[in-house]
Chain A
Amino acid sequence: MSMNPILSVRRSFAAPRTKMVAHLPRMLLALLAACCAFTAWAVPALSPEYAAPSPDGTKLYVTVTTSDSLLVFNTATDKLAAEWILPCKPSGVAVAANGTVYITGGGVDGALHALSSEGKPIGRVAVGHTPLAPILDESGATVYVPNRFGGDVVAVDTASMTVKGRCRAVREPHAVALGARGRTLFVANFLPLARADSLSVSAVVTLIDTLTFETLRNVPLPNGSTGLRGAAATPDGAFIYITHVLARHQLPTTQLDRGWMNTAAVSILDGRTGVYINTVLLDEVDLGAANPWGATVSPDGKLLIIAHAGTQEISIIDRAALHARLNQAARNESVNDVTRSSADVANDLSFLTGIRRRVRLGGHGSRGVAVAGGRAYVPLYFEDAVASVALDTAGTHPVRRIPLGIATGQPTDPVRRGEMLFNDGTICFQQWQSCASCHPDGRADGLNWDLLNDGAGNPKQSKSLVYCHLTPPTMITGIRPDMQACNRKGLTHIHFSVRPEADALCLDAYVSALQPVPSPYRVNGALSDQAKAGEIVFQKAGCVMCHPPAAKGPQGEQLFTNLKKYDLGLGVGNEKGRAFDTPTLVESWRNAPYLYDGRALTIEELFTTHNPNDTHGSTQSLTLEEIKALAAFVLSF
């Protein structure tokens, strides 16, 4: 989802280069950067993101997102061995026992690529919209790939490189892991799919039977679970670990202390039965561990390692001790002053005390994590470096930083620096959250929050920031004049942080650079027939009055809003009689649920159940078919 320019014009497919060759352009760039230190020029970023070791642990493959390549490391020397140029932005990597490397990438036209251990392309299969995080079964016969925006998971037969199974997930599947004996596939759905004004709102883990490739069931995580990023299984598949944000959206956002807005969590499921075991917090009472992302279990099964993208660190957890504590809690035995039963665990900031080490990596953007040769490797997305952490038993965990050719350090480009700050939990009071905690990828988290800009006692949905710079005022109440004001209030009133204006300017630049992802409702980039029919209904129902398709931004961005506020009689409780800002319809397909308090789970519901007086367009007289068509149209942008 990065907004950064592609590094170079290299297009040759997976051509392995020698180390020198691989480094040459970067060295030149480094010189260039040095010469131009006082200009606005910035070195194009690489953005290393995910990593996977070779079967023997001697090599490590690192996806570099914005330079469309895969880096190969020698783990014995921590030196770069090769760079393979890819035809797409890589979004995930997995390595089979026979050495075959599988790469996902390609966004809307996403595909799985197979490469030999020498980097030669040996297969490609189209899998869906934005595939990522592939995993292999034990035999190497199948690769499982979640398609984030396709909303499904595919099973790819590696022998034939064909899709042999496809199963719907619930919402934006982001990571998968295999349970014991490969029987069950655990799918981490990124966002909740529920009315945001429900008592409990949480993302679910979808369990798929790998034999039938059908959904077994959906396992809800605790109330407030969102942003499910990573999944890992123990080597025997007995336990599954899912990393996520555990939002405390039940409370007004008055304090961050003790995780009263967002906590960082790992949920644990039984890899044999699929039963939810518990959720463990990764934060500590005075120090949050924002935005857990990648997770992995060491090959010996002893350690669970989780990357915290928000706090430049990893957690190294003693698995045996962790499960001993979980078992104690399950037996209603007191683990500490907080946990006296299973039900207490998800709220216990001291649960991991003494059995987990937090290791500072010294760089931003720790997303993926892999273990090879007794070390944990963590690509640092914003630093163009990889952190290598010794998993020594002494617990000192010295960290080596491996620059990727050139040590560019933190980005200077305002957009990219803004993206880094947007994902940075260390600028927040006690590191509890980053902007991305509630606005993952600059979008919404599916939850209602009671922010205090409009008084207490009126929770509202977090909003997507796409085009918010073009559609002032901001906030659903229009209480802030523009995106810039919002960003500054976010720093002061959500992070409680006094930051230099330069930071805010970078955040402005990043948010302004957000681009919509193509709608999965489109067919080959065009409106579907149903959506075309819906376009007519859009006119007929009067939607165009407030959401005019003709409203355009300076680059021709279709905005679908007249930028005005209306009281459509939709406010309830404390919000009765309040006028709300007309939102853009761009990425509606991605932003469910709808209305300020998320009471409409679908666009169809919005037009039917939640528009009783036809104040929000004349939709009560529409036929079901028209409603569906209208929804298809709205969801196509």
Chain B
Amino acid sequence: MHNSKQTLLKLSAVAAFCLLSPGVFPLSAQNYSKEDIANRHTVAFPAQRLQRDWMYQDLGSLDVKNVFTSKETNVQEKKLMGSVLKDLKALGLNAAVGEIEKAFTALSGTGKPGADPAWQSLYFQACGMRRKERLARAFKDQPRTFIYAKHFVFGDAQAMFALADHLTDAVFRETGRDYRMGAQLCKMRVNEDGTVTTEVILDCPNGIVRDPSLSYDGKTLAFSMRTADENHGDDFHLYVMDLDKKEPKQITFGDGVADMEPEWLPNGDLVFTSTRCNFSAPCWWSSVCNLYTCDAQGRYIRRLGVDHGHTVFPHMTHDGRITYTRWEYSDRTAGYLHTLFVMNTDGTAQTEYYGNNSQFPAAVLHARAVPNSTKMIAVSGAHHIDQRGKLIMIDRTVGTQAGVGVKLLAPEKDYPYLESYGTGGAVVHDTGGDQWQYPYALDEDNYVVCYSPEGGPVRGLKGIDAKGKAGSPAFGIYWQHRHGARELLIYDPTISAGQQIPLAKRPGAFSRVPQVNERKNTGLFYVQNVYFGPGLQGVKPGTVKKLRVVALEYRAKGTVALGLHPWGGHQTAPCAINNGSYDVKHVLGEVDIEADGSCAFECPPRVPVFFQLLDERGRMVQNMRSWTLVLPGEIFGCVGCHEDKNSTTSDRLYTATAMKKAPQKLRPPRVHEHKPIQEMARFQTESQKRAMAFLGPNAPQGMDVPKGFSYTREIQPIWDAHCIQCHAGKKNPDKADVPLNLLGDYRPISNEEIYGRTKWRLTRRPYGKVTQGNPGRYFSESYIALTDFGYNAKMPLGVSGGRAVAATDKVYLAYFGGKPENVPNPDALGYCADEYSGKGVINWLHVSSACAMLPPYSYGSTSSPLMDYLEPSHYGVQLSDEEKRTVACWIDLNVPYCGSWMELNFWDKLNHARDSGLTPWYVYRDKMRQIYLYFEAKRLRAAEIEVDAIAKLIEHLDTGKTFAPSDFPAFDFGGKATQAKFVADYDNLPNTVPLFGLAEGRDARGGRNVTGNPVRNLALNPDAYTYWLRSYPRATANSHFKYLPHCSPVCTIDGKRDGGSWRPNRRTDLWLNIEFGREITTEKAVLTLALNPNQTRTWTSATLEFSNGAKQEITLRCTAEPQTFTFPPQTCAWVKLTNLKQSFPLTDNALAEFEVLGIDK
């Protein structure tokens, strides 16, 4: 006994460890003392947290509640001692081990139970020695001082990192349950004796500070901060701080935009993430981040990428590139594609770094290069959780897909890759058990990580909140070895600590020469041989004739609460039926593929594009299912379609034909009779026009003529010309039995139709109920008939998609009387395991299809039976080649309906007004329009500023002129007040819009427009616009043939009976509405029809409907002479021509002029 005491005393002196005060047991996970909370700014961690962590490690379990508490046994305590002794031996501390073993033997001999304080003392002293040795080894020749940040855990709720940037003008509360103010930048030092000291270097009690990045010279810290909560006017912006002076200096500005995650570039500039792009998360309302760059003073802000989901966590590799995580929605499942990407510092050569054709790791987060290595350390996380997951090491030299080359760390083991079946919806990956964030590798074996041994719930509070309520344990900072040994370095019980980076001068990364030439307005793509690689495996060389270049137009904001979403597609504003195209698509053009499979072509820069390979009939052989872009002057190439990243170009390929020619220019695939006229352009400033050109397909379209691929414009006229006389459903009584109604008539979808399919698994989605029987979306008869409510989307089975196995899924089986033998595809896997999948007349790809590359001809026009019906063998139909190619294109683009985000994208008021979490006024259709226009206007303003910054950059490069930070306008069109004003202005629009012919200078609404108010044509407005509603009277209609200007409804009020005329598609539900902008009184209308030279039939009757509710039937004659109709005087604000009737066959009819004779009220 005496000896044992002596040994312990001696050991205390040897250990010289200051944190060995006995703990209070049993331990309660989040039960910290007041002192612990109070000292959290100056003490690295509460002693009990360290003690707990040691016990976790030595017990190999989180269940430590019985340690040091037993009054009977010492089994647990012996186990702890055994473990720590083993480690001490492995560390070679033989002398000390001998002493401790002696004391252990002595203590064991006494038979003292675990509750005896001697066990604690001995164990903690041994742990202290182990800690000192571990840290001494790990930090030998390594930096010991680190900057770190304390803040809530980013992410949460929908789509991991989407919610960290809650903007002041958000329409949805983009914050998770852990979101809170209060954050700090801190400094810690791992001392030689194993202790850690810490100090706060920047306190941000009422805001959030995050993302520290240290310049290569170790002197200047860049970080992101918001200094107020989201309701009080600040968004995240970039700051720099000289570490000697410690005065933060804000370098980026602007309400309503968030600038985050700065990372220093080798040349002293910064790359950062920003919401300046004004894109919306594809399935939600959150603003997403793209990568931007600026100099250290925040000058010359310009974008590097143009990406749909977030592109985040930019990090410099040693070889001078930027790795980042890119979240993809690209007609593939979005749940897995949070791929690690890489680009040069100038934004060129944006390409996959790891795993863009495989499911796992589902989300590669917080990736960093390992010093003196080509490996990357990262966190493997999931889609729908906060930013955390398992610690992984990526070694690209082993593989670049499907977990090959990925090792789980601490302890190291192979990544358990499994091609599994999950949507990414509620499914999480790598989120069970202990969890990591923000790894920093000292070398390939030793890391400083942000870690939680307990893991935690998927969502919710971490740490203790202001009222003392404890959530799951916060993340702390640890040293950790590849094999799992760890020591706690920093722990704040109230909030997570992480984002640690060494405070030291670093060797500069490779400084790569920029290749971007901002003076140019094109970039160049080339492919060496499309037949090379797995993409066209088995396709005979010579098959591919053309390459189609398609640009993606990204949504500015989700526009409804929850939309047409059994599953897949945009639940918050689809541009297609469910499971159809994610995005509005713009076909930029086609180029020829040479006989040897090569191709080189110019492409507009900063436009996200993807490619489709077409055969001689214009049908798709293979699709890219991702996107790429070039920057100005960039030349970007690929070998084939699409070779492994671990292969170089093939020695068997020769210098390609296309490489010996001038690059091709994109050829529009079809001859536009008239280019769409954007009425908006008439009202734009020169600066705005430059910004529109800069944005290309992502330029705002507002209420204007859609520029993307529009079903109504491209496809319906084909059905009208060739099909509808037979395929008109009951509208043509003579052919009522002919299936497949191809009329372009308005077609709302009922809840029953979309959710009530017995074979559809997601029938009982709660939001299905609140729609009160109507999802609120309409398409057209033909679109619905052809797509079968989206059920025809083909999801290749067995490689992706849902998680059910049809034969064993009880819920699914219930639809078949519980009998597997009734299931049409009993072996099928996935949500879409129903017989509709891929069995319709159109065989397009389900947007949540597999991550993996699909074989050629997997889907699309080539395998769509519809294409056969377009041949003369089908009742002698005679489609032109151009028309057939257009239909094929539509299918291969994944059946988009809208050619802009606003085209017919109207929703009714019932759409989830309740329980949606949206700002209440936002849920209604008209407000939706306004708010969408607001975000588009934001996008345009941001682009104007960017164009200006690029112009200044060119001037600087050309002339050496320097610009002060104040020369660059801050972003000035965002934030709550601006948003409110924009909406209010829109609400008040009629008061500010001129009335055509206004004579008295009075307010338009209610004013008279001619002195004396004689009887006259009150509908006359030669300066009317169709879409950009700027003046009254105005004419709108529900159909407009190909959006051609000379077929516009405004032609009916231009005062010219012989000019253009309103020409709608051949529909049976047409209307044309004349709004006066004030109340008028009328008793006479004159309609002048426009007839084709040999036209003998036209509409036979119609109804005039007045805003006062009155209706007047009229009979129309087939004549080009004006037809006058009189009726009892009506006081009204608008007159609508509806119920335009004609018996089948329908002809192309048109109305040249609609005159409404009367006086102002």
Interface residue ranges, A against B (CB under 8 Å): 199-200, 222-224, 246, 248-252, 254-255, 257-260, 263, 279, 281, 283-287, 336-338, 343-344, 346-350, 353-354, 429-430, 448, 450, 452, 455-459, 491-493, 496-498, 573-574
Contacts and interface: CB of A to CB of B under 8 A. Distances in A.
Contacts of A450: 655, 659
Contacts of B397: 284-286, 349-350, 353
Contact of A255 (B637, B644, B651): B637
Contacts of A279: 651
A259 B648 contact: yes
Contacts of A493: 513
Given A250-B656, A496-B512, A498-B512, A347 B663 contact: no
A249 B349 CA distance: 19
Per CB-CB distance, the 8 closest pairs between chain A and chain B, nearest first, are A259-B648, A498-B511, A222-B651, A350-B646, A199-B654, A254-B635, A492-B513, A286-B374
B320 interface: yes
Residue from A248, A448, A457 whose CB has the most chain B CB atoms within 10 Å: A457
12 contacts: A250-B528, A250-B654, A259-B648, A260-B648, A285-B396, A287-B319, A338-B647, A343-B652, A455-B662, A457-B600, A496-B515, A573-B661
B160 interface: no
B524 interface: yes
Contacts of B649: 248, 250-251, 258-260, 347
Contacts of A223: 651-652, 654
Contacts of B663: 456-457
A459 B655 contact: yes
Given A254-B635, A286-B319, A337-B404, A456 B646 contact: no
B646 A429 contact: no
Contacts of B524: 456
A251 B528 contact: yes
A151 to B, nearest CB: 26
Contact of B646 (A224, A338, A574): A338
A250 B639 CA distance: 10
Residue from A255, A448, A456, A574 whose CB has the most chain B CB atoms within 10 Å: A456
Contacts of A430: 319, 510
Nearest to B649: A248
Interface residues of B, number: 45
B650 A498 contact: no
A250 B374 contact: no
A319 B600 CA distance: 42
Nearest to A284: B397
Given A257-B349, A457-B661, 12 more contacts: A255-B636, A260-B649, A263-B648, A285-B374, A285-B646, A287-B374, A336-B399, A338-B646, A349-B397, A354-B398, A456-B600, A459-B655
A284 B374 CA distance: 9
B512 A337 contact: no
Interface string B361-403: 0000000000000100000000000000000000111111100
B650 A429 contact: no
A621 B524 CA distance: 46
Contacts of A284: 374, 396-397
Given A257-B349, A284-B374, A456-B663, A349 B513 contact: no
B492 to A, nearest CB: 37
Contacts of B511: 497-498
Given A250-B653, A286-B374, A450-B659, A349 B648 contact: yes
B660 A573 contact: yes
Given A223-B654, A250-B653, A337 B661 contact: no
Residue from B396, B510, B637 whose CB has the most chain A CB atoms within 10 Å: B510
Contacts of B600: 456-457
Contacts of A246: 651
B645 interface: yes
B526 interface: yes
Contact of A252 (B320, B395, B399, B637): B637
Nearest to B659: A457
Nearest to A455: B662
A492 B397 CA distance: 27
A283 B635 CA distance: 24
A545 B637 CA distance: 43
A338 B651 contact: no
B659 A497 contact: no
A336 B402 CA distance: 12
Contacts of B661: 457, 573-574
B399 A347 contact: no
A458 B512 contact: no
Residue from B397, B515, B528 whose CB has the most chain A CB atoms within 10 Å: B397
Given A255-B637, A285-B396, A429 B659 contact: no
A257 B317 CA distance: 14
A448 B636 CA distance: 20
B636 A254 contact: yes
A223 B528 CA distance: 15
A569 to B, nearest CB: 18
Interface string B1126-1145: 00000000000000000000
A390 to B, nearest CB: 20
Contacts of B647: 258, 338, 344, 347-349
A458 B660 contact: yes
Given A347-B649, A456-B635, A496-B512, A250 B655 contact: yes
Interface in B489-537: 510-513, 515, 524, 526, 528
Contacts of A574: 660-662
A249 B655 contact: yes
A214 B53 CA distance: 76
A252 B526 contact: yes
B512 A252 contact: no
A234 to B, nearest CB: 25
A61 to B, nearest CB: 34
B439 to A, nearest CB: 19
Residue from B320, B349, B659 whose CB has the most chain A CB atoms within 10 Å: B659
A199 B657 CA distance: 11
A502 to B, nearest CB: 15
Contacts of B656: 250
Contact of A497 (B374, B396, B513, B528): B513
Interface string B606-641: 000000000000000000000000000001110000
Nearest to A202: B651
B660 to A, nearest CB: 5
B853 to A, nearest CB: 12
Interface in B459-517: 510-513, 515
Contact of B513 (A222, A350, A496): A496
B68 to A, nearest CB: 42
B636 A250 contact: no
Contacts of B399: 336-337, 350
B512 A285 contact: no
Contacts of B515: 496
Nearest to A575: B660
Contacts of B644: 337-338
Contacts of B654: 199-200, 223, 250
A286 B512 contact: no
B741 to A, nearest CB: 49
Contacts of A457: 600, 658-663
Nearest to A354: B398
Given A285-B397, A353-B398, A429-B512, A258 B651 contact: no
Contact of B651 (A283, A286, A347, A448): A347
A346 B648 CA distance: 9
A281 B515 CA distance: 28
A159 B600 CA distance: 63
A286 B396 contact: yes
A497 B510 contact: yes
A90 to B, nearest CB: 35
Nearest to A222: B651
Contacts of A287: 319, 374
B1069 to A, nearest CB: 54
